[in-house]
Amino acid sequence: MRLTIIDWLIIGLYFAFNVGIGFYYKARAGKSTTEFFLSGRNVPWWLAGTSMVATTFAADTPLAVTGFVAKNGIAGNWIWWCFLASGMLTVFFYARLWRRAQVMTDVEFAEIRYAGKPAAFLRGFRALYLGIPINCIILGWVNLAMVKILRLIFGIGKFEAIAIVLGMIALTSAISTLSGLWGVLVTDMFQFVIKMSMVIILAVFAVNAVGGIEAMKTKLVAAGRGDALDIVPAVGSAWMPMIAFFVYIGVNWWATWYPGAEPGGGGYIAQRMFSAKDERHSLLATLWFNIAHYAIRPWPWILVALASLILYPGLQDPETGYIRVLIDHLPAALRGLMVAAFAAAYMSTIATQLNWGASYLVNDFYRRFWKRDRTDAHYVLASKVATVVLTIISALVTLKLESIAGAWKLLIVTGAGTGGVLLLRWYWWRINAWSEVSAMVSAFVVSLFLQLALGLDNDKPIDFAHIMLITVAVTTVVWLAVTFLTKPEPQETLVAFYRRTRPSRAGWAPIAAQAPDVKVAGGGLSNLLDWIAGLVLVYGVLFGVGKLLLHETLPGLVLLAFGALGGFVIYRDLSRRGWATVVE
């Protein structure tokens, strides 16, 4: 794809703007680690929520969705659509608790909820495990996706593409080390507007290239791919047997730890909640994230993916269909903006992963176990060094990676079964540090045993379902047994946690009795109703918009009406509690 001088000027202006933001927030980020990692806990909901959405919109996301649609039709997206249930749990049951915890990272949570050496071990282990290998694998596959994009767009070799990506990593790292989370949040907002605008424009040209929506539907049916238009999967099909469907809908969303979709919230999602101005901003930020993430973003990608099935049938790598549509059907005048949009998608994710990973390494390992009594300036400098180190390691991982999907699925199955303890640790006093440790170890060992010793293949739907069900069952039995066979946390630790976060009295009765002065708002049933209404809201809008785009007007309007009803229920309840609007 050839770019004009104007295209290169647009791309240059995009990078210059990002650098400018980095320098603008440099002084503010250098004040303290709280400013560097949490923006002084003063971020409005709309900025925190939009940053969550921008972070989960990586350069590889449109390509991944195109692959899902090519293989399994629109319904292939249930692989990630099912996680909405977990996201809405975070909104109504956990967002306020996380904000009350007043921690800098979700890993630090271990030492306010638990006590002693087990708590310290859990914190240190999770900081290193999540901050280096897991974080750098994620960075590696995002880098790899950008390498593939650059190779197709510019027609260059792998090493030339890697060189460009390394330059982008270096620039993103420099911005992150200069500006801290404030710079990440503001650039996320800017980048999200660019990339959403361009993917919508590309969807319009893709649909026009195949003759419009009706022509697209007709051509897909004629090509024997009419099933690609199904939003709800045909249960019992080769890719979605009944047991696999059950795992997605009934197990996967609550039982599995995965970056960005942790049960109860965690990682960079939790980081945004910590940075919010108060509990209301934390809740509203997470609510906006789930609406935008699931209901607003997918359809431009899906329409391009459907068009690519017609324009480029039989591609060996169907994910590249998205880029081929861009190269062949986007007007020359918009190509510079589209390249900038991909750069935005890439850089927003990289910036967050670097800042988030550095927060683990510095706050939860270096500061906690190595250098405990240094100045804030020292820790800010250490944070910048950690960011550079992560940049180098992720670049090396990129050179070694060949497959994105394998690493992605491995993370899912090795985290299976840990979700239950992550959800209940807030609402049941009896859980202790050993509960979490045993869950992590058991999930890892069982899932690997099933794959390596018994030969189950997580690429096969039935095998994947069996891995998930067995791992979840064994892990749950193990951590429950460990919980009851080990001592509970010390009373003083539990009372302090209860006073600090004020969770529901239902699972904390023995502890609540020792702190009768702590006022805990009820609302368990209201939260449950809001959770159900949130599912109706997002799924109603998601599927309603899809039906309208596919010219199925009546079903689309009915689904949108259900979505509006769900939104009204949430608004009415939050208004009753004084949460619907926030005074800045």
pLDDT category at 389 given cuts 50, 70, 90 is confident
The kind and range of the H/E element at 465 are: helix 461-485
Distances (CA, A) of 238 to 126, 242, 243, 423: 38, 10, 11, 33
What is the per-residue pLDDT for 11? 78
What's the token pair of residue 81? 């659509």
pLDDT category at 580 given cuts 50, 70, 90 is low
- Rounded to the nearest integer, the mean pLDDT of the chain is 85
pLDDT category at 330 given cuts 50, 70, 90 is confident
Average pLDDT over residues 116-130: 89
pLDDT of 283 higher than 50: yes
Of the candidate ranges 67-76, 329-338, 485-494, the one whose mean pLDDT is the lowest: 329-338
Name every residue whose Cβ is closer than 8 Å to that of residue 350 and which is 6 or more positions away in sequence. Answer: 139, 142, 143, 168, 169, 172
Identify which of 148-152, 403-407, 419-423, 524-528 has the greatest average pLDDT.
419-423
Half-sphere exposure of 72 (CA within 13 A, CB side): 20
Q: What is the pTM of this model?
A: 0.87
Residues in the chain, total: 584
Tens digit of each residue's pLDDT (9 = 90 or more) over 489-500: 999 999 999 999
pLDDT category at 26 given cuts 50, 70, 90 is low
CB 425 within 8 A of CB 435: yes
Determine the distance from the C-alpha atom of residue 395 to the mean position of all C-alpha atoms in its chain, rounded to a whole number.
21
Residue 49: φ, ψ to 5°: -65, -40
Between CA 172 and CA 111 the distance in angstroms is 32
What is the per-residue pLDDT for 176? 67
pLDDT category at 8 given cuts 50, 70, 90 is confident
pLDDT category at 396 given cuts 50, 70, 90 is confident
pLDDT of 19 higher than 50: yes
Best CA proximity match to 313, nearest among 217, 394, 224: 224
What is the per-residue pLDDT for 584? 39
Tens digit of each residue's pLDDT (9 = 90 or more) over 517-536: 888 766 678 899 999 999 99
* Dihedral (Cα; 477, 481, 482, 484), 10-degree rounding: 140
Name every residue whose Cβ is closer than 8 Å to that of residue 105 and which is 6 or more positions away in sequence. Answer: 37, 127, 270, 271, 274, 359, 360, 363, 364
CB 465 within 8 A of CB 241: yes
Strand partners, 256: 416
What is the per-residue pLDDT for 295? 93
In our burial notation (b when 16+ CB lie closer than 10 A, e otherwise), range 74-109 reads bbbbbbbbbbbbbbbbbbbbbbbbbbbbebbbbbbb
Could you say which DSSP state residue 228 is in?
G
Identify which of 5-9, 49-53, 392-396, 470-474 has the greatest average pLDDT.
470-474
What is the per-residue pLDDT for 144? 80
Between CA 212 and CA 205 the distance in angstroms is 9
Instruction: Write down the domain spans for the chain.
Output: 521-584
What is the per-residue pLDDT for 583? 38
Between CA 358 and CA 364 the distance in angstroms is 10
pLDDT category at 134 given cuts 50, 70, 90 is confident
Strand partners, 43: 276
Half-sphere exposure of 382 (CA within 13 A, CB side): 21
Best CA proximity match to 74, nearest among 206, 296, 238, 228: 228
Average pLDDT over residues 40-63: 85
Share of the chain above pLDDT 70, in %: 91
Between CA 570 and CA 541 the distance in angstroms is 15
CB 502 within 8 A of CB 518: yes
Tens digit of each residue's pLDDT (9 = 90 or more) over 205-247: 999 999 999 999 999 999 888 888 998 887 777 777 878 888 8
pLDDT of 44 higher than 80: yes
Best CA proximity match to 68, nearest among 57, 53, 81, 55: 81
Identify which of 66-75, 409-418, 472-481 has the greatest average pLDDT.
472-481
Longest dimension (CA), the chain: 71
Between CA 284 and CA 522 the distance in angstroms is 19
Name every residue whose Cβ is closer than 8 Å to that of residue 428 and which is 6 or more positions away in sequence. Answer: 507, 508
Residue 316: φ, ψ to 5°: -65, -40
